[in-house]
A and B are shown apart, each in its own frame.
Chain A
Amino acid sequence: MTDQTNVKLRLNNSELWGGLIGLALGAFVVWSGLKLRLGTINDPGSGFVLFYTGLLMCVFAVTIIVAAATEGGPTFGSRWKDARWTKPLLVIASLIAFSFALNPLGFLLSTIPLMLLLLRLIDPVRWSLAIPIALLAPLGVWWVLKRLLLIQLPSGILEIG
């Protein structure tokens, strides 16, 4: 890797950030374990395993941080080099929007737009094909689940579906 893609103690070193997130998580788990009661070695409490697992997490995270500081690591930019990074971001945004819409709008009204979005976002499928697929796939699934398998799907405030 070049200097542009492999950096040591720089803020865009992805390994460093991975280790720091791991360390923060480990510290949180240690704290949660302590809060839950450790117990004793012959009568371990609810927080016993959590506490020691948290400690191990901290050790591994520190190892990652030390390696990132001494050996360097790829930058965030290089991780997404030559990748169409906007595509997964758009899919993630669609999924988050869908998760907010699922309960209030119900299965059908949230899934049909999600399908249409995904069909047009990933590698655009032509409208004449995207619209029928976006309509028929959720409707088909809804029909099988609701009518054949009698599984109740969220119907939302409008009670559609």
Chain B
Amino acid sequence: METLLNVGHGFGIALLPINLLYCFIGVFVGTLVGVLPGIGPISAMSLLLPITLSGTPESGIIMMAGIYYGSMYGGSTTSILVNIPGEAASVVTCIDGHQMAKQGRAGPALGISALGSFIAGTFALIALMLVAPSLASVAIAFGPAEYFSLMVLGLVVLTFLTQGSMAKALLMACIGIVLGLIGLDSITAQPRLTFGRLELIDGIGLVPVVMGLFGIAEVLINTEQLIKRDVINAKITQLLPNKADWKASAGPIGRGTILGFFLGILPGGGSVISSFASYALEKRLSKTPERFGNGAIEGVAGPEAANNAAAGGAFIPLMTLGIPPNVVMALLLGAFVVHGVQPGPLMITQNPGLFWGIVASMYIGNVMLLVLNLPLIGMWVQLLKLPYNILFPLIILFTIIGVYCSSNNVFDVYVMIAFGVIGYFMRKIGYEPAPLVLAFVLGPMLENNLRKSLILSQGDLWTFVERPISAVCLAIAVVLLVGPLLPSFRKKRELVALEEGA
């Protein structure tokens, strides 16, 4: 009953005209960046982060969240029609989605993708509503040792799932921690690694780092190749899947939803890993696995449901523990902090309007997305024809503006350009930026909790092992760190490794 009252209160906030407008902008921009290959939700969220400063925290977070789950919807359109994933979570959708489009079944592929996403997104929200308050009440008992171990686990999981060498991913995470510690020490107020520059006293901003590593670097990488697009030109008709399509897709949507939701909660997990896991599961369960790769609708329905459910699940650790499980959530944490709100176990009780308003806005956002992605599909197809040689300079212009507006400081533009160049060379020699960004956000919190734990326990390192939650997190982290030394474990890691941790 209390939950229903809270949801009602949330809808009261989410249905305010200004919040509806922000929600619409969020899901629209999310679909847009999902549709356009080369720009992901991370770039878009960092670009729009400064805009949220002018409104209330509710409006800002509603818009940012909308971009995230909106991009999950939009990403499938490009995968199905162009065979280029709009964003990382839609890589799997290319396999069967584009084959369906080639066979003249683009409509049902797009339809099942949007409807499956809607069902999964709605389930994830209901689960978020039920799980988050209970978990938050448990999380109140968490001490600095538990927080430290959870953050270590999050970083290790992300490095484990990052494509390529784990040593490289761990090195990136360490660099991220160091970058996060630049500026005044929160305990002693001593400047660290500032090289005498006043601009560095407050540390490096998240926006220029992310915009550089993901926005500018992405453009630089894309300029290397002549992007060719094989857009399906045939008119898209019959978007609603038929009875047989529904029969084939019901199981994959159900399984993908549950799998995606739980993988989304895990630190370091997220939409990408859940879509891959769902595809693998459906192929394994299928009586006709040979259809996969040749236009099986289950290969579209399962992963699309999974990545949307994961997007909802990822809000749980952020909202209840204040720990972002992936880079997108790290940006959302940045948005909370910019507005003076600290997500964590007390947020639901201290800021119920904010929490329930965001949850309610996601319901509304999911409905908006269904409208945007089904009847308006033609508009997105037209957008796919926008030439990249015009789009890329515009992206660079907007990143410059976005970074400048976030701080009114030209120094941040220099930082962004520097990180853009570093990010480009990093990617070229096989160093992924995702662990760096997550560690950059977690670094100060990780340090703070480590030092607090050591001070409270008077230097007794057993404090991390004596507390059960902390011990379990550290044990899993150790397994993931040592595991890749075993050949069979290493093979499994390579199978699930992601291109980007987002």
Contact = CB atoms under 8 A, between A and B. Distances in A.
Interface of A: 14-15, 17-18, 22, 25-26, 29, 32, 36-37, 40-50, 53-54, 56-57, 60-61, 63-64, 67, 79-80, 83-85, 87-88, 91-92, 95-96, 98-99, 102-103, 111, 114-115, 118-119, 122-125, 129, 133, 137-138, 141, 145, 149, 151-154
B494 interface: no
A133 B390 contact: yes
Contacts of B170: 56, 60
B396 interface: yes
Interface of B: 54, 165, 167-168, 170-171, 174-175, 177-178, 181, 185, 187-188, 190, 192-193, 216, 219-221, 223-226, 387-390, 392-394, 396-398, 400-401, 404-405, 408, 410, 413-414, 417, 420-421, 424, 428-431, 446-447, 450-451, 454-455, 457-459, 461
A47 B421 CA distance: 29
Contact of A92 (B175, B401, B421, B430): B421
B408 A115 contact: no
A32 to B, nearest CB: 6
Contacts of A67: 165, 167
Given A64-B171, A79-B429, A95-B417, 8 more contacts: A22-B171, A26-B174, A41-B454, A47-B192, A50-B192, A50-B193, A102-B410, A118-B392
B457 to A, nearest CB: 8
A32 B193 contact: yes
29 contacts: A18-B429, A37-B190, A43-B454, A44-B450, A44-B451, A45-B188, A49-B447, A49-B451, A50-B181, A53-B178, A60-B174, A64-B171, A85-B224, A91-B396, A98-B417, A99-B413, A102-B410, A102-B413, A111-B397, A115-B397, A118-B393, A119-B390, A122-B223, A122-B388, A123-B388, A125-B389, A141-B401, A145-B405, A154-B410
Given A14-B429, A41-B454, A42-B455, A84 B226 contact: yes
Contacts of B216: 95
Contact of A53 (B167, B174, B396, B454): B174
B59 to A, nearest CB: 16
A95 B424 CA distance: 13
Nearest to A41: B459
A84 B461 CA distance: 52
A25 B175 contact: yes
A122 B167 contact: no
Contacts of A64: 165, 167-168, 171
B161 to A, nearest CB: 17
Contact of B171 (A61, A92, A98): A61
A151 B408 contact: yes
B389 A138 contact: no
A54 B192 CA distance: 14
A145 to B, nearest CB: 7
B190 A36 contact: yes
Given A49-B181, A122-B389, A152-B408, A57 B171 contact: yes
A31 to B, nearest CB: 11
Nearest to B451: A44
